[in-house]
């Protein structure tokens, strides 16, 4: 049986008052529907307002963070551009150093990989962070390249320093007078024109004789013509010879340094008086010793 209407009786306690309400089912449904609708409208409205409030708060926090990040990114880009200029400057100095020590210039394509300049402005929704990372990668490669180049320059300088230390470059006795130059001269014994393979420096007997460069003593012996003679091998094809010594101050096989005393002036062998006969050979070819006395390297000074 379907209920169409019903009666609601109201009996307050302690009184004889009685109230009755006749209610139709359809009215009850209407009221219930209205209450439910009101509840739904109110709750969804409240949820919407709360959601909007939370979202607005979230957006505001994100915007604040975004502004800060943009500022920090801009500062980072400026810093990277500045560092890029520094790296370029280092690369140029490195190039000049390479030229100075006679090393080949670095490949231009290799150099380009680290070239600085302004970073491109961010396009569309790009933050510009990608360009920043790419530029940092470039700089990392460029710094690596410069590091390797510097190591090469250092090694080259060390080699050059070693070679310079091995190059005959000082006057082997203090003072004295050049009595016979390199080239043809009249032999003091025969009177004939003969080649003179060295330089004669007249000085007093016992004057110290200095090694003209770093090297190894190849000979320290007595020979008929040269008398007491020392030959030093300096490497790189260079040898020097010191003849007519009164006595030795080095022995065969000894390593000597430039400026080290290796003997003393005398008149042993085929000699007419105390002097040093000094020869410079390069790849066994006699050189003019005057070409191997550089002012800057002159440890033996004129009195
Ligand atoms: Zn001579």
* Domains observed in the chain: 1-165 (no CATH), 177-297 (2.70.70.10)
Ligand 1 centroid vs 239 CA: distance in angstroms?
Answer: 16
Q: Would the pLDDT of 142 be above 50?
A: yes
What was the pLDDT predicted at 116?
Answer: 54
What was the pLDDT predicted at 296?
Answer: 46
Which pLDDT band holds residue 297 (cuts at 50, 70, 90)?
A: very low
Ligand 1 centroid vs 64 CA: distance in angstroms?
Answer: 92
Q: Are 197 and 206 in contact (CB under 8 A)?
A: no
Ligand 1 centroid vs 166 CA: distance in angstroms?
Answer: 23
CA–CA separation, 173 and 240 (whole Å): 14
What was the pLDDT predicted at 301?
Answer: 41
Tokens of 163: 């070679």
CA Rg value for the chain: 50
What is the rounded average pLDDT of the residues 21-27?
A: 87
CA–CA separation, 287 and 285 (whole Å): 6
Give the residue, 88 or 301, on which the prediction is more confident. 88
Least confident window among 60-74, 132-146, 259-273? 132-146
């Amino acid at each position: 049986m379907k209920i169409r209407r019903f009666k609601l009786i109201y009996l307050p306690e302690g009184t004889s008052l009685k109230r009755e309400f006749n209610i139709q089912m359809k009215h009850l449904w209407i009221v219930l529907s209205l209450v439910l609708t009101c509840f739904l409208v109110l709750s969804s409205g409240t949820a919407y307002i709360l959601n909007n409030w939370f979202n607005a708060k979230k957006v505001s926090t994100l915007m604040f963070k975004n502004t800060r990040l943009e500022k920090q990114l801009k500062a980072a880009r400026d810093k990277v551009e500045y560092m890029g200029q520094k790296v370029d400057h280092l690369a140029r100095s490195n190039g000049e150093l390479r030229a100075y020590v006679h090393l080949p210039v670095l490949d231009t394509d290799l150099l380009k990989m680290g070239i600085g300049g302004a970073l491109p402005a961010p396009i569309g929704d790009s933050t510009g962070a990608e360009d920043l990372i790419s530029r940092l990668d470039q700089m990392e490669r460029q710094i690596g390249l410069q590091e390797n180049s510097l190591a090469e320059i250092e090694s080259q300088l060390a080699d050059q320093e070693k070679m310079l230390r091995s190059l005959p470059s000082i006057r082997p006795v203090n003072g004295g007078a050049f009595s016979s130059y390199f080239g043809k001269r009249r032999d003091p014994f025969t009177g004939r024109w003969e080649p003179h393979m060295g330089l004669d420096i007249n000085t007093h007997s016992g004057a110290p004789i200095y090694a003209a460069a770093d090297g190894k003593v190849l000979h320290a012996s007595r020979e008929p013509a040269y008398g007491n003679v020392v030959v030093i091998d300096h490497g790189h094809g260079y040898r020097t010879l010191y003849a007519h010594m009164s006595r030795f101050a080095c022995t065969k096989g000894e390593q000597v340094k430039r400026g080290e005393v290796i003997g003393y002036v005398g008149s042993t062998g085929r000699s007419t008086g105390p002097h040093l006969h000094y020869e410079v050979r390069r790849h066994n070819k006699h050189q003019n010793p005057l070409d191997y006395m550089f002012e800057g390297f002159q440890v033996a000074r004129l009195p």
